[in-house]
Chain A
Amino acid sequence: MIERKVDLVVIGSGPAGLAASIKAYKLGLTNQVVIEREKYLGGVLPQCIHPGFGLKYFKEELTGPEFIQRFIDKVEEIGIGTFTDTTALKISRKGEVIAVNKKLGVMKIKSKAVILATGAREKTRWDVKIPGDRPAGVFTAGLVQKLINIEGYLPGKEAVIIGSGDVGLIMARRLTLEGVKVKGVIEIMPYPGGLQRNIVQCLQDFNIPLYLSHAATEIRGRERVERIKIVKVDENLNPLKGTEKEIKCDTVIFSVGLVPENELVSEIGIEMDSNTLGPVVNDYFQTTAPFLFSCGNSLVIFDLVDYVVENAETAAEGVNFYLKKGMKKAEERKVSFNKKIKFVVPQRVTCLKDVSFYLRVKKPEEKVFLSIKEINWRKYFQKIKPNEMVKVNLKREELLKIKGEKITFKLVRKS
């Protein structure tokens, strides 16, 4: 068994993990390792061969592989120790990471801090409760993306996509370009789940029908998928009688959202946020276990990789701060929000620095103010939508004006 002592272990080598690792290295944390369970570095980006990455961070439009290659090159250039094909199995309360690898066996890595950048998993048909038969031909969108872009296989030739999340939209276009007939994208809400630019570029440009306010009700097929049943729904999402319809297809692809992956820390007992499904963190992205930091999609589902990188770099600064100076926990203020808001990250604020807040609303709203009750801060939005994460930057000086222990975000209609 290999035993090692390091200052920092980064788990996951997606954009979050690599950005955090590089930043930490630049801050002087050179004794660190990155652990990645796949055979290659990069997380999901190597399979995202479409453009649309890095507009904010690099001010250039890149494909996923191009975007991540810049980070991989940097990691290799400065010589950060990376272990691919290596899975972290456990993290102890004291920060010891157990990982396994074919060649090296079990690795016990004692570390002073751990950054969790384990990404997300996809929701399945059962998360959205689509019953029926259980034939071959039912996939999640990210899996199809990997099968096509990495493995070189097509699932079938007539597909229906359930859910209009970005991954699904991008796969609708990708499948069409491969000669697969995409017979429709089914979305239960009256608005799409993905970014507007993807609705235009991936569906409209290819004449793929988008069924808004439609629910899939059943998958049928004995051995392989044969058809799917859909129905129109009213504003309360209840099915409307007489609108049932069947679509013949051999493939059903679910694109119904992602869930932050945090199995590794479920035993440590850190505080979790039931709205994000990620850990509760402060503005350094430190969890309630002081040695443990969280960033990227395992913290909260981001829609832009640029934000992922940004918060990962802050997490690295947090680790540096924690290791070099220590962080006093008592001074944190709690973030709360009103009913129209789904979540705000970070959930705690130290008021030691400027903070970027990431939040999502529950429903599309028009002509609204986002405000912070405790200080005289507000921002006007002509339109605000659940599928586009909102980022709010606040200066430390403003935060310091807060008297109590709470910061309350409110979304209110302009009166």
Chain B
Amino acid sequence: MSKFFLKPSLKTDVVIVGGGVVGCSIARELSKYKVDVVVVEKEVDFCQGASKGCSGIIHPFVTPFNSLKGKLCVEGNKLMDKLTEELDVPFNRCGLLFVSLNRKETFFLFLVYLVMKWRGIQVKFLNKRELRKVEPNLTNKAKCALLFPSGGVISPYELTFALIENAQKNGVKTLLGTKVEEVLVENGEVKGVKTNKGVIETSYVVNAAGLYSDEVAETAGVRNFKIVPRKGCMIVFDKKLRGYYRHYVAEAKIKQDPRTKGGGALLTVEGNPLWGPNLKETGSKEDTSVSRKDIEEIINTYNVLFPDFPLKIITCFAGVRAASEKGDFVIERTKVKGFINVAGIQSPGLTAAPAIAKMVTELLRKEGLKLERKGSFNPYRKRINKLTDYPPEEQDKMIKENPGYGRIICRCEQVTEAEVVEAIKRGAKTLDGVKFRTRAGMGRCQGSFCTPKILEILSRELKIPVKKITKKGGKSLILLYKIKELLKGA
């Protein structure tokens, strides 16, 4: 990958710092207008931060209702149908089941029910019999439940990639592997950003840098919040168990155990059961390790709901929430003209992202940015066509048109060469880039079969040697030597 330096002449109207779901949502929203936007992301690909390490729930609500995150969550949830339709992103409004396991919790559920009715949030009460009918594998200790039909699940990376692809199509520029080191401020006004690859001149900076938003804000001299990293670990189970339950299920605990707060048992859009997350304050922004204790903790928590669930683990992963010490989102104009903080976006940041984007657009307008609608805006994006989504007759046509569809690369997820090539065309440069765009390597064998084939395709398409290919950028090289290379010195 060639390292280039930005010419001093790179100028734009708006710089968005951070290519997570929030930065990409803002970019896509701004691409509806006649403004030049550049998204700057320090990693080699988009969606490498919290947005990758999240569980993908589209929450029906969060408390407190009157907080900023409470409001944006409900708003974002409502925007999700149209957005995912335009971007062709699978979205499953599976419904959230809030389950009571004892009398106290039942009492609590009644209270919640009343509050929700009063708040105008769709909710349905299910008695024991009704509950058994919809979730037969749930523990027989389950007494009753509240069903929130607007709860759903989405693939957070698919959404983020779709947002940025569509934004790019509508003129947004992106700089990957580019880190904003300093926001340049003169006389209380934004002048530009200094990156490791040069300076970008701009009058508006949107700070959507996730875990590092406090540090970015500090360089602009407006750090009035602190990010407290909170790790959450999750377990993914084999797709074979997809029929085991249907909703996003959580226990209606009155006092939420802080270590499992916000977690549940859900089914990803691809059909894998996913349990978690838990919550740990590790003090580190980079620590995404999972410990044995995390695994046990999560299993113990959700085994209570599904005592006979066969624990066929496929993988575990973790993400770090960028919570502000106050607990709420920090989305505001600052005393530096042109600098907007979009920080502290912990859960439900994924759900809220479309609403955050609209809010930030309005803040930019108030800040003086001229926003005029673009007639040419195209809201649509198509997902990567997957061979196995089609019947044999169609598959045959697909292969005749593009022979790459005739070669299966990943046996577990049945991903074809054509899909891998398309993912690379859309921006994948690493093994993980291919994996998160196509699911190749995400199945039960975790890449044991497809890795050599994907390396070969990446090398061929990107015209780089196999030895230079990484898992996720930086020093995450996959193969370090050619055979015989280590024997030369001996």
Contacts and interface: CB of A to CB of B under 8 A. Distances in A.
A135 B476 contact: yes
Interface in B257-294: 286, 288-292, 294
A126 interface: yes
Contacts of B295: 129, 131
Contact of B448 (A122, A156, A178): A122
Interface string B45-87: 0000000000000000000000000000000000000000000
Contact-residue size bin, chain B (C-beta under 8 Å from the other chain): 35 or more
Interface string B379-403: 0000000011000110110011001
A115 to B, nearest CB: 19
B445 interface: yes
B237 to A, nearest CB: 10
B363 interface: no
A153 interface: yes
Contacts of A207: none
Interface in B335-393: 387-388, 392-393
Contacts of A223: 470-472, 474-476
Interface in B409-439: 411-412, 414, 417, 431
Contacts of B175: none
A100 interface: yes
Nearest to B416: A100
Nearest to A125: B446
B111 interface: no
A406 interface: no
Interface in B282-328: 286, 288-292, 294-295, 313-317
Interface string A125-148: 111010111111101101100111
A104 B404 CA distance: 12
Contacts of A1: 392-393, 396
A311 B405 CA distance: 35
A178 B483 contact: yes
A224 B482 CA distance: 17
B467 interface: yes
Given A100-B387, A143-B448, A136 B478 contact: yes
Interface stretch (A214-222, A318-326, A368-376): A214-222
Given A100-B387, A100-B408, A129 B313 contact: yes
Chain B residues touching A, majority SS: mixed
B35 interface: no
B288 A121 contact: no
B240 interface: yes
Contacts of B388: 89
B445 A37 contact: no
Interface string A98-132: 10111111101000000000000110111101011
A85 interface: yes
A326 B192 CA distance: 81
Nearest to A151: B452
A263 B449 CA distance: 14
Contact of B476 (A122, A131, A136, A146): A136
Given A102-B407, A217-B292, A153 B481 contact: yes
A404 interface: no
B444 interface: yes
A302 B481 CA distance: 33
B486 interface: yes
A184 interface: no
A261 to B, nearest CB: 8
A282 interface: no
5 contacts: A100-B408, A108-B392, A151-B466, A224-B475, A224-B476
Interface of B: 240, 286, 288-292, 294-295, 313-317, 387-388, 392-393, 395-396, 399-400, 403-408, 411-412, 414, 417, 431, 444-449, 451-452, 455, 466-467, 470-472, 474-487, 490
Interface of A: 1, 37, 85, 87, 89, 98, 100-106, 108, 121-122, 124-127, 129, 131-137, 139-140, 142-143, 146-148, 150-157, 178-180, 217-218, 220, 222-224, 250, 261, 263, 266
Which 8 pairs across A and B sit closest by C-beta, in order of nearness? A179-B486, A102-B406, A136-B471, A106-B396, A223-B476, A136-B476, A87-B408, A153-B479
